[in-house]
Structures are given as C-alpha cells and as structure tokens.
Structure 1
Amino acid sequence: MATPDIPRSSSALPPLPGDPSTLRVREPGELLAAVPILLGFHPRESLVLVATGGESGRRLGLTLRVDLPPPEHDAAVAADAVQNLLLDSPTGAAVIVVAGSAEAVRPREDLVGLVVHALEARGIDVHTVLSTPSTAAGARWTCYDPCGCTGLVPEGSATPFAAASVAAGRVVRADRNELEQLLAPAHPERIRRREALLIQAADEALYQPDPGASRRAAADREGLDAELTLVDAAIADAAADRLVLDDTRVVALAGALAVPDVRDAALLRCVGPAAAAAEQLWTALVRETPDPEAAEPAALLAVSAMVRGDGALANIALDRAEQAWPGHRLTAILRSVLLGMRPEEIREWVRGGGEQGGVSAVPFPTSRRTIRRNRPGA
C-alpha cells in the first residue's frame, strides 16, 4: 500500500482574514464545533491539525485534515502532516483525532504522540490535543493530557464563531462525499455525446491548411478575442441566473479554455467583480464537460475556492482535475505554489499572472483529444 498523499486528502487553506478567524474560541468544545466550519464538512476517521498564531498565539490559521492511516503508516503521515502545517509558520497548534467511535478514550495515541513530538521538535506549542467520535453537537470529547478533562461539542449555532461564519456565507456539508458529488460528471449519455463532438473538432483542426505566419497571427488574435468573449458571455449569463450549457456551448467553452491565453484571462475572472458568477460557471462546466477537458474548469474552480478560503472545495476540485487529466500541469502548479498561501496572497498571485509559479508558461499539447484517445483504458 502506498504512503498516503497528504495534500490530496487534506483541506489546507486558512479561513478568510477579518471574518470568523478573528473571533476567540474559548474552550475545546468550541474548537471542535469550529472544525467543520474551517474544513467545509464534518470529518470522519480523521487526523485534524489546526495552526494558531497571531499576537495572542491562538488565532486560527491553516487547517489540515487527513484520513487516519493504517498504523504502519503513522510515522510517514505524521511527518508529512506536520511539514504541511509548517507552511503557515504557526506558533501553536491543536491536534484532533476524529475517531468515528466512542469506544476508545484516547484513540490512536501512537499517531498523536508522533505528531506532538514532531511539532514540539520544531518549537511549536501544542496547546490542545483532543479526541472525539464526531464533530456533531453533543459528541463527547476527551483531552489526551493527564488531566483527562472531557466535555460535549456544543451546538454550532450557539458559538460566536459559527454565528459569524453563517453571516459570512460559509457552508458546512455532511461529509467530504457530499462535496465530491457537487463535481461529479453529469448524465453519462450527455458526456459521451460531447466527447464525440470534441474528438471531431480536434480531428478537423489537425487537418486545417496552414495560412502562413502573418495571416495565422491575425487569425489567432481574432480567435482569442472571440473565445474570451464566449467565456465572458457565459459568466454574464451565470450572474443573471440564465446560464444554459447545451452541447454547442460546452464544446465551444472547452475549446476556449484549452488556449493558454484564454485560460490566463479566465483566471483573472476568479478575483474580479464577477468572481461569484465565474465560480458558478466553472462548477457547472466541471460537471458538464468530458475528460480530459474537465481539468481546465476544475483547476479554475480550485482557484476560485482558494480565493474565498474554501480549502475543502479547492482540494476536491484539484482532485477532480487530476482525475480528468492525470499529470495536468496547471493542477500541479496550483498545489505546489498555493498550498498554505492565504487568500489575499492568492488574489495577488492571480492578479500578477501567476508569475511565482509560471502559470503563463505552462505549455499545452497540440491535441489533447489525441492524448485522450491514446490513453490506456480510454
């Protein structure tokens, strides 16, 4: 069994600054009630690490979740989880085990010990170490310290953090699977029909005569303007609640987002005045576009989610992009460059054209449909 991949199975973005993250979490039960808000869903069978910092040392920062591993992988998971948490430069940390069962008083003590030791070895104050079978209201939590203190997770609506989160528009889903279903492909027959149209379009493009360098450059400029207009028109329709994605439009948008310059312009829509509508379009396109083209809107959706501080959705979107196109380079760049960055830093990164990660330089194959047809099992 391969060692678990921490970034793929975690939510690793902090909450937005200036909203619930500035509120005080007064006791362990409130922290546990905050965890599903920080992650975007109620974790199950999970190790959760919460970075803290700021002047008080207790301001909530990066939140990371990973599935509880088999015991033989405890050391690798502990090391990788701590390494990822350090991206936020925390001064303190909370370690939480969501065990899924109330039978063990202090479950997975070996894993917890490895995590605590690794954090303390790096000068991080591990001020809170808890276990609970669930983050739902009424679940009993237990401290790993010798005091053995215990309590109940409060109703989320009863905490200031949760109240502020609701006002900020945060959504908590039942589990990670519910998030995954938001991006699951639409009706199989519809997807197959559009895949055939995309293959046909790619084949026709391969056999177009070369019009010469100057004419080709002029045509390219006109084409870029037209394709960006297609994207902006779809975003405008999403903003007006009249978005319709039929076969023709999906194929056209898939072709447009395959062009690096159009993709880069679309990235800017993730931070502009129409960011919410753009995110709505990316979400719909992920469901309605065949693989491997679905990787493009999935990567754009990940950026939109990162900008809002929604680490759970961002990770699900990146997973979906990699599923659609294994080895998708933009997805790899987003994971490596943006993991641990705060939303305001991500906004600046996008506005700067992704210079830190070289997004504009990411090359694209001439015919992605050729790759799709030649892929094993395609």
Structure 2
Amino acid sequence: MDMTQAKISLTGPDDLLTTIPLLLGFHPEQSLVVVGLVDGDLECTFRVDLPGSAEHIEHLVDLTGQLSLNNCNQCVLIAYGDKDVAEAALERTKSRCDAAGIKPIERLRVSSGRWHGLDCPPDHSCPVAGSLIPETSAAACEVAVAGWYAAPDRETVAAQLQAAAPGRRAAVASSVEAILGGEVELDWAEQRGRDLHAVDHWLEAKELPDTDDIATLGLALGDLDIRDYALRRINSGRFERGRVDLWIWVARHLEEDLVAPAATVAGFAAYRSGNGVLALEAFELALRSSPHYRLAQMLMAALQSGLPPNALARIGGGDAEEMRGD
C-alpha cells in the first residue's frame, strides 16, 4: 500500500494514536505531532521535537506552512512528553493554526501510555489519569497488514542506513575498480544498455544484489540519465515502496565518493511512498558524502517544507531539467 494514496478510517483518538507510529515510522517521544485533515480526511502528518522546557516554547517549529501547502483546513494536535512543555506546545500551536485559518479539532497530550484530552466537552467527565492507549486498533491493523511498521525510536530508523561491514565495502570497492577497468572496451551505447538492464533487473528481483551487482548499480546511478531513469521507474508505482530496500542496500555498501546518488534515490523512494523520516535520513547521508549534490539538496528542502509526495511525480522526467543533480 502506498501511504500517499491510502484512505485510513479513523474513528477516534485510539485509532489515531495507534496509527501515528506507523505513519511516522517510529514511536515518538518528546514530540509535537500535527495531523493535517482536509474536510475530516487524513491528509498528512508532521512531527517536530519539543523544546527542553516550557520557558523555551518560542523555539517550537511552526508547522502551519506545511499544513497550508497540503491544503489542510483542520488538524489534530498531539504532544508527547511532560505536562508543562507538552501543554505549552499545544497552546502555542493552536494559536498559530487558528491564525492561519486551520481549525484544531482536538488537542491530545500523551504520556506513559495514556492520552489526555485538552478539549473535553463540558458535559463529559474526562478521566484525570487519562485514557489508556490500546496496543492496536482497526486502523492500525489495516496499515500494519499493508507492511508498515514502527521502529522503537528515531535512532533505529537511522541505523537502517549504517554502512555495511568494512570487509563487504572493500569487496564492492574492488569490484568497482574492475568494472571501471573493463568499461574502456565498451562503447557508450553498450554500457548504457547494460546499466538500464541492471536497474530493471534488480527492481524486479526478489533478492538483493551481491558484490559485483552492487558495484554495477552504484556506478550506474552516478550517470544522471540512469539515475533519473531509476526515479521514473519508482514513480511508475509498480514496485512496493519504490524498492527502497534495494537502494539502501546499495548505498550502504559503497565508498563515500559513490554514496550520494544511491542514497538520494533511496530517499526519493521513501519520500514518494510516504516515509518522510527514512527519506530525511537518506538525504542527510547523501549530503554528508557529497555536500553539494543538488538533487539531494532540493528533495530535502521539499520534504522539510511539507511538499506532498505526489508532487514528486514529474521528478526524473525528461522535461524536469530543474531537478537534475550535479
């Protein structure tokens, strides 16, 4: 299931709170989560860190621009953390949303596995201790069955992109040198055909590539036309989550000078399928290895501004020269 196209039925706080970790890709802590709605339908989800204390609430990131970019006219505000800073964050964010014409329909604070409603109707008796968040719900099951899961924390998400063992990377580096040596005997058309075939083959494959094929893909993605071809294939929607597992696998095995294209393609696949946290980690990896890699810079800026994934549909196309990297 592509989370950018899924219609998730939410009937109350339990459905929402059990689904949010799946939407984010990890269980949030000390966080403000803003769920954007369009006429009551879930449209987008954004998360930022809470400041260290209520006295520093002016440092809280304003997310109204991201909500407006996604045409949201309503939102649900959820703060995870200690009462003082969480409630200060909810109050500040409510004021910002009201000023932007985006109606907060509910504010929730989450702590120690329980949720507390800040907008309890006068004719309801809301439990002082809060309501226990269930382990799962119908909405969460729907998302989980589609293959989405929540990592325990943000660090676990980042760990998915850790470099492979030195011995494995050294083997790939040796294969890269051998391939480069052999390419002098190939004409341009033959080399291009082999690279396109490699992208197609591994997108369709059930397994992940080994040493020589990792080297082939890593070198191929360094060609802007091959990289953009991979982006177009991801945009076709034929492959579950754009085969982000493939691109991460390749990036993890490459030496630093080859990492940026593969990490950027991995980030694009994650972004396109709705996993913004994993996408951000991949773009950061690309820019650590090549700080001026233009496509990674542009995609990261788009992600941080709240540009919806479906707005990426033309990236990699022949008429999208402004999105071509350096």
- TM-score w.r.t. structure 2 length? 0.83
Q: Give 1:279 deviation, angstroms.
A: 3.0
For 2:297, the equivalent position in structure 1 comes to: 332
Q: Which amino acid aligns with 1:39?
A: L
Name the residue aligned to 2:140: 162
The answer as to whether partners of 1:106 and 1:144 remain within 8 angstroms in 2 is: no
Greater alpha carbon shift after TM alignment, 317-326 vs 113-122: 317-326
Q: Deviations over 1:211-259 (max 9, x none)?
A: xxxxxxx9434432232223333334xx243x3321x333332221111
Kept after mapping to 2: 8 A contact 1:39/1:311:
yes
Find the aligned partners of 1:354 and 1:260 in 2 and give their Cα distance: 14
Query: How far does residue 199 in structure 1 lie from its aligned partner after superposition?
Result: 7.8
Q: Distance in 2 between matches of 1:353 and 1:312?
A: 28
The verdict on how the C-alpha distance between 1:169 and 1:86 changes in structure 2, with shifts beyond 3 A counting, is same
Aligned to 1:77: 60
CA deviation after TM superposition for structure 1 residue 39, in Å: 0.9
Give 1:353 shift: 4.3
Q: Is the 8 A contact 1:106 1:142 kept in 2?
A: no
Structure-2 change in CA distance of 1:153 and 1:286 (3 Å) = same
- 1:142 equivalenced with 2:119 (yes/no): no
Q: For the aligned residues, what is the CA RMSD?
A: 3.0
AA partner of residue 220 (structure 2): A
Task: Give the drift of 1:273.
Answer: 6.6
Unaligned runs of 5+ in 1: 1-13, 209-217, 364-378
The answer to whether residue 216 in structure 2 is matched with residue 252 in structure 1 is yes
Q: Percent same amino acid among aligned pairs?
A: 27
Instruction: Write the distance in 2 (CA, Å) between the matches of 1:273 and 1:17.
Output: 11
Q: CA deviation at 1:322?
A: 2.3
Using the TM superposition, give the Cα deviation of residue 342 of structure 1 relative to its aligned residue in structure 2, in angstroms: 3.8
Indicate the larger mover: 116-125 or 221-230. 221-230
Structure 2 counterpart SS, 1:330: helix
Aligned to 2:4: 16
Match in the other structure for 1:320: 285
Q: Is the 8 A contact 2:232 2:317 kept in 1?
A: no
> 2:88 is matched by which residue type in structure 1?
D
Question: Cα distance 1:19–1:105, how it changes in 2: closer, same or farther (>3 A)?
Answer: same
| Paired letter, 1:154 | P
- Compute the displacement of 1:128 (Å): 1.3
Q: Deviations over 1:265-320 (max 9, x none)?
A: 11122134752474332121122112232221221112222232222322222222
Distance in 1 of aligned mates of 2:172 and 2:316: 33
Describe the superposition over 1:334-353 as per-residue Cα deviations: whole angstroms up to 9, x where unpaired: 1234553444443x324744
Displacement, 1:93?
1.2
Partner residue in 2 for 1:296 = 261
User: Would the alpha carbon gap of residues 92 and 226 (structure 1) be closer, same or farther in structure 2, given more than 3 Å must change?
Assistant: same
Shift of 1:165: 1.1
Matches within 5 A, 1:258-269: 258-269=222-233
Secondary structure of the 1:69 match is coil
Instruction: Say whether the 8 Å CA contact 2:97–2:103 is kept in structure 1.
Output: yes
